[in-house]
Amino acid sequence: MFLLCDVNSMYASCEQLFRPDLKGRPILVLSNNDGACVALNKPAKALGIKRGAPYFQVKELVRRHNVAVFSSNYALYGEMSARVFATLESISVKTEIYSIDEAFLTVDGIETSESYESYESYGRRVKDTVYQHTGLMCGIGLAQTRTLAKLANHAAKTWPATRGVVVLTERHRQRKLMSLLPTSEVWGVGRKTSAKLDALGIKTALQLADASLYLIRKTFGVVMERTVRELNGIPCISIDALPAKEQIICSRSFGERITSKQAMHEAICQYAERAAEKLREERRYCRHITVFVRTSPFSNDPYYSNSAGNRLMTPTQDTRDIIAAAVRGLDSIWRDGFRYQKAGIMLNDFSPGAGQIDLFDETPPRANSAALMSVIDRVNNSGIGNLWFAGQGINKGWKMKREMLSPSYTTNWKELPVAVIK
């Protein structure tokens, strides 16, 4: 049996957690540079605001209905996510983190153990414990496979009568739920795949579960076949078996247009540093680094977009190597006279290690590289201070806009919540 715990409206819930005055009020969280709607709570969704909609298009709706609007506070969301997962790990033998607000728990044997506890009771205990420890509400779905647990979780968060917990152990209940849901609600079925299934007459999750395995494998491949088997109660998908990322991208739109190469150099260095951090978090090395720049396609300014890639002879995860390759790419594509709106770094061609060193490589691995990168990462993740490379500069006039950023309630002593007693 698998249990999926999914925090309700994670970003919006984190914002409301330290603001009791926002209870019941619509909450909207914006993307980088406050450009688009990335997260909403239920009252905001009820107003017709869509996820992904440009903020300027909904400003009048926001004003009319007194919607609370926030810039994305990633430090707050990351810290609260860590607290949720720490709580789950304290009450589960095995926890698999799937995303910032989702985790699978393995709960085999609960109903057959000496200290008997039903799946329903355990699900409610998990839900209540997460709320008690973090103040965040979550939905709980339990079933024999991860795909069915996803569907159970969807039902738990959709229908209030479930009170946030749905256990799908009986086959007739599984089939009833699948008959009510379109294929697009099935874990791993994207928009294009759903449209293709629809063309084949497979419109609901139940029809997908009953489809011919031979047809599904021939048309969509072995991954979709595994999904069908999971819908029929056969576990065959694991988190570890999910495809690894084929690339790491760090990209941002600028708060102000960049017109000087020095400012662009600083931005590229910062993005390269963040991409290298992500690479080390995944314990991988990369061989290919691409840098790209562009102006806005929606302004009246002249349009320019270009990219350049550099392939290293020896894979690396050293920030210095990645910055050097990115700067070489920038030098080859920079053009004066444009107002640049966006730039970014892309890493790919991954490997689990540095591999064999090429005798003809003019930039072999640096001495003590792993130890130095480890120290930098530890300091930057400690919350005590920060280390960065000089190429990033200090006064970043181009940094992204976050004009409605909430305080760092959980990571900054100076921004702790204050209780006023009258």
| Greater model confidence, 184 or 99 | 184
With vertex at residue 134, the alpha carbon angle to CA 416 and CA 79, rounded to the nearest 5 degrees, is 60
Residue 148: inside a domain = yes
Mean pLDDT of 100-113: 78
For the domain that residue 359 is a member of, what is the CATH number?
3.30.1490.100
Residue entry with tokens 């993307």: 31
pLDDT of residue 52 exceeding 90, the answer is: no
Mean pLDDT of the chain: 87
* Interval 184-213: pLDDT, tens: 999 989 889 999 999 999 999 999 999 999
One-letter amino acid at 342 equals: K
Mean pLDDT of 39-66: 91
Residue 179: inside a domain = yes
**Cα 159 from Cα 141, distance rounded (Å):** 12
Alpha-carbon distance values, 65 to 39, 51, 87, 362 (Å): 17, 17, 36, 62
256 lies in the same domain as 364: yes
15 lies in the same domain as 100: no
pLDDT for 113 equals 54
Running DSSP on this structure, what letter comes out for residue 318?
-
Residue that terminates a domain, selected from 231, 266, 284:
231
Shortest CA distance to 105 belongs to which of 121, 83, 122, 128? 122
257 lies in the same domain as 385: yes
For the domain that residue 49 is a member of, what is the CATH number?
3.40.1170.60
262 lies in the same domain as 381: yes
Ranges of beta strands (E only) in 259-365 are: 285-295, 305-316, 340-351
Q: CA torsion sign, 133 to 137 to 140 to 146?
A: negative
pLDDT of residue 175 exceeding 90, the answer is: yes
Q: Report percent pLDDT > 90 for the chain.
A: 55
34 lies in the same domain as 90: no
Q: Give, to the nearest 10 degrees, the angle between helix 191-199 and helix 213-220.
A: 130
For the domain that residue 199 is a member of, what is the CATH number?
3.30.70
Domains identified in the chain, total number:
3
66 lies in the same domain as 100: no
39 lies in the same domain as 127: no
Residue 242: inside a domain = no
**Cα 369 from Cα 354, distance rounded (Å):** 12
**Cα 206 from Cα 132, distance rounded (Å):** 36
Residue 416: inside a domain = no
13 lies in the same domain as 153: no
pLDDT for 69 equals 94
209 lies in the same domain as 298: no
Residue that terminates a domain, selected from 197, 231, 265:
231
pLDDT of residue 15 exceeding 70, the answer is: yes
197 lies in the same domain as 173: yes
100 lies in the same domain as 174: yes
123 lies in the same domain as 216: yes
* Interval 313-349: pLDDT, tens: 888 999 999 999 999 999 999 999 999 988 989 898 8
Residue that terminates a domain, selected from 182, 201, 231:
231
Looking at the DSSP bridge assignments, the partners of residue 340 are 258, 295
Residue 335: inside a domain = yes
One-letter amino acid at 101 equals: D
Residue 408: inside a domain = no
**Cα 295 from Cα 334, distance rounded (Å):** 12
Number of helices (H), then strands (E), in the chain: 14, 12
* Interval 362-416: pLDDT, tens: 666 778 888 999 998 888 887 677 888 887 777 665 565 677 888 888 877 788 8
Instruction: Lay out the sheet containing 2-7: strands in order across.
Output: 94-99, 102-106, 2-7, 138-143, 165-168
* Interval 115-147: pLDDT, tens: 678 899 999 999 999 999 999 999 999 999 999
- Using DSSP's 3-state secondary structure scheme, residue 288 falls into strand
The full length of the chain comes to: 422
Mean pLDDT of 81-106: 88
Print the domain residue range for 102.
77-231
pLDDT of residue 90 exceeding 90, the answer is: no
Residue 401: inside a domain = no
Residue 410: inside a domain = no
